[in-house]
Structure 1
């Protein structure tokens, strides 16, 4: 399987210590099977930071090998209450201490306005069903791949 990571630079070596907190599945390295989505994220990041050049980092993942090892893999196949609660838990975690013990998490990507929706939900302005609906990625369902441990990133081969 080919996966893409959009950035404002070429990534020579994945360094989990520079991962940002408060992301959908926690602090880790994120990839997409969608080249277009990764390119969009690369362009947006380059524009926001006003430095670097939009870059697609391409990786190969042997899913069979990944699944045959002793890794903890969590998968969400669709938008669901469990997925929304998991995203909420991770988005609220502003530390580098993981909220979960999974090496790899695969599931839908949330819309960019997640922070706004979390504030609406936690303040009681919307219920769980509305929260879930608002989190859906506006261009249809698109999956992200989270690698949160050194053991997990060993399965990614840079192309």
Structure 2
């Protein structure tokens, strides 16, 4: 399968040390199976930083998700378990939370996650409202988190993509 990473630079080599903390599934490298979503993310970041958008294409053997060689967590839909996992990874109050999954697959949360976490922690909204507000506005789109060097080594870089 092909996966895409939207950014302000071409990704030639993945360095997990450059990954930012407090993302949906934790500190790691994120990809999408949807070129359009990756391009939109690249464009959004490029506008923020005054640069150009880049989408790097990777090939991944998805049979590795089922053969037991990688520790995988998969969410097939927006659910309480998904929202709880995103909350734990995104919340600044959970700085000591971490997991040991090589790969996590699940829906993309919308861009207002931080504000929704704050509202939930402060008791302004219920967990059900929190879950509903995290849903990505364009419908369900999945993201692929690669959080270990073992997982990163399964990705084959195919270079820039202009689909």
Give the match's secondary structure for 1:120.
helix
Given that 2:64 and 2:70 are in contact with CA atoms closer than 8 Å, whether structure 1 keeps it comes out as: no
Deviations along 1:17-55, one digit per CA (max 9) or x if unpaired, are 00011100000000001100000000111111223x211
Given that 1:27 and 1:96 are in contact with CA atoms closer than 8 Å, whether structure 2 keeps it comes out as: no
Given that 2:88 and 2:97 are in contact with CA atoms closer than 8 Å, whether structure 1 keeps it comes out as: no
Give the match's secondary structure for 1:68.
coil
Name the residue aligned to 1:121: 120
TM-score by length of 1: 0.94
* Separation of aligned partners in 2, 1:146 and 1:25: 7
Name the residue aligned to 2:98: 99
The aligned length equals 158
Displacement of 1:110:
0.3
* Separation of aligned partners in 1, 2:132 and 2:101: 25
Name the residue aligned to 1:143: 142
CA separation of 1:48 and 1:88: change in aligned 2, threshold 3 A:
same
Give the match's secondary structure for 1:10.
coil
Structure 1, gaps ≥5 residues long: none
Structure 2, gaps ≥5 residues long: 159-163
TM-score by length of 2: 0.92
* Separation of aligned partners in 1, 2:97 and 2:68: 21
